[in-house]
Chains A and B, each alone.
Chain A
C-alpha cells in the first residue's frame, strides 16, 4: 500500500495528465457526434471480432452436438427421400378399341438389381403380385427384349435376363419372316446368336431381328440387328446378333401382361393332352 502511494507520488504529474486527458476524451466522445460515431463504430469492430473469435471457439466445443443433430437430420431426410419409398402406383396403358381387342398391357417397373457378367444373369424389378405380375410374363425395355419373369413376390419379381444360357427367344428376320431362336451363350452382353435360320434364307448384315408371337413375347419386339453371318452345318446359318437392349445401362422396363394367355394356354394344353 505504501509503495502504491509512492508510485502515485512519483508519477503524480503523469497520472494527473492521464486523468484530465481522460476527462477531455470523455467530454469529446460524449458531446461531439462525429467523434462519438467513430468511437462507437471502432468499438463495434473490436467487440465484433471478439464475439467472432468466441463463436469460433464455442463452435468447436459444440461440434459433437452439431454432428449428432446433422446425422439425425440426414437420417430424417434419407427416410423422406423418394429412393426410400416403394412405388405403389403403377400405370397401365390400355386402349379401348371396338375393332381391336386389347391383348397386351404394359406395366412399368424399375430395375433394382441387374447382372450381366455371369453365364446366367437375372434382373430384379420393383413390381410383384401387388401389380399383378405373374410368372412367365415378358419383360421389354424401350429398346428391345429384356427377359421373362421367373419368380414373383409381393413387391418384387426376378427376371431371367436375355443374357442367360437358358433363354431361347423365338425370333425372326423382320424383312422376310424366317424364324429361329436367339440364344446367348456368355461373352459380350451385347451379342447373341440367332440359330435355325435356313441357309437359303436371304439375310444381310444390318437386318433387323424381332420376336415372333410363338413364345412369351409379343410379336415384333426388337431383339437386335444382324452383325455377322456364318454357317453351321449344311442347312442352317449361324447369325451373330447385336442385341438392341443395353443391359449395362437399363433402369426402367415394361412388364407385358398377355390378357389372352390363359385362353391360349388352355387351348394348347388340350393339344398336348391329345398328343399324349
Chain B
C-alpha cells in the first residue's frame, strides 16, 4: 500500500518532468506544427489505483493539470481537460470492466488489464483529453475539422508514447514504473 503511494508519487514527478522538460520542448516547425504534441502526463491520471476515492481522483487530476499549466503558462487549460477525464474515468472503467468487475488490486496497466482493453481505455481517455484541451485552447468551433484532425494526430502520438512506456516498464519488471 505504502509502496503504491510511493510509486504514484514517483510516477507523478517523472511524468511531469518528462512532459515539461522533454515533450513540451519538441518543436516541429513547418505546416505540421501543432499536429504532433504529446501529452503523456495524463498517464498518471490513467494509472491511479482503480479503487481510489473519486473525489481524491478529481483533486489529484486537477493538481496535475494545474502543475503542467504552471510550466506552460496557461492557467486552467490543462487543469480543465484533466478534470474531464478524471470525471469520466470511473464510469468508463465500469463500462469496460469484465462482468465481475475489477479486483481492487488490479493495476491499470497493459499487463494488468490486458492489451486490447488497455488500448481502448487509454485511447478513449487520451482522445477525450486532447479534444477537451484543444477545444479549450481554440475556445470556438471555427475550423472544427482541422481541430479534430489535430486531436487525432496528437492522440496517436501520445498513444505511441504510452504504449512504449508500458512495454519499457514491463521489461524492467520490479523496477520503478514510468
Contacts and interface: CB of A to CB of B under 8 A. Distances in A.
B131 interface: no
B75 A32 contact: yes
B104 interface: no
A224 to B, nearest CB: 80
B123 interface: no
A32 B55 contact: no
Interface stretch (B76-84, B106-114, B170-178): B76-84
B55 A27 contact: no
B58 A27 contact: no
B140 interface: yes
Interface stretch (A11-19, A87-95, A106-114): A11-19
Given A13-B55, A27-B75, A28-B75, A21 B139 contact: no
Interface in A18-35: 20-21, 23-32, 34-35
Contacts of B136: 28, 35
B51 interface: no
A38 interface: yes
Interface of B: 54-55, 58-59, 62, 65-66, 69, 74-77, 79-80, 83-84, 86-87, 90, 136, 139-140
A16 B55 contact: yes
Contact of B54 (A13, A26, A29, A32): A13
Contacts of B83: 17, 20-21, 24
Given A17-B83, A20-B83, A24-B83, A31 B59 contact: no
Contacts of A31: 74-76
Contacts of B59: 16, 20
Ranked 4 nearest A-B pairs via Cβ: A28-B76, A27-B76, A24-B80, A27-B75
Interface residues of A, number: 20
B40 to A, nearest CB: 20
A17 B139 CA distance: 20
A16 B75 contact: no
Given A24-B83, A38-B139, A38-B140, A30 B75 contact: yes
Contacts of B80: 21, 24-25, 28
A23 B54 CA distance: 18
B52 to A, nearest CB: 12
Interface string A104-133: 000000000000000000000000000000
B58 A32 contact: no
Contact of A12 (B55, B62, B139): B55
A28 to B, nearest CB: 3
B139 to A, nearest CB: 5
Contacts of A13: 54-55, 58, 87, 90
Nearest to A19: B58
Nearest to B55: A16
28 contacts: A12-B55, A13-B87, A16-B59, A17-B83, A17-B86, A17-B87, A20-B58, A20-B79, A20-B83, A21-B80, A21-B84, A24-B83, A25-B76, A25-B80, A27-B69, A27-B79, A28-B74, A28-B75, A28-B76, A28-B80, A29-B76, A30-B75, A30-B76, A31-B76, A32-B76, A34-B139, A35-B136, A38-B139
Contacts of A21: 80, 83-84
A24 B79 contact: yes
Contacts of A23: 62, 76, 79
Contacts of B140: 38
B62 A20 contact: yes
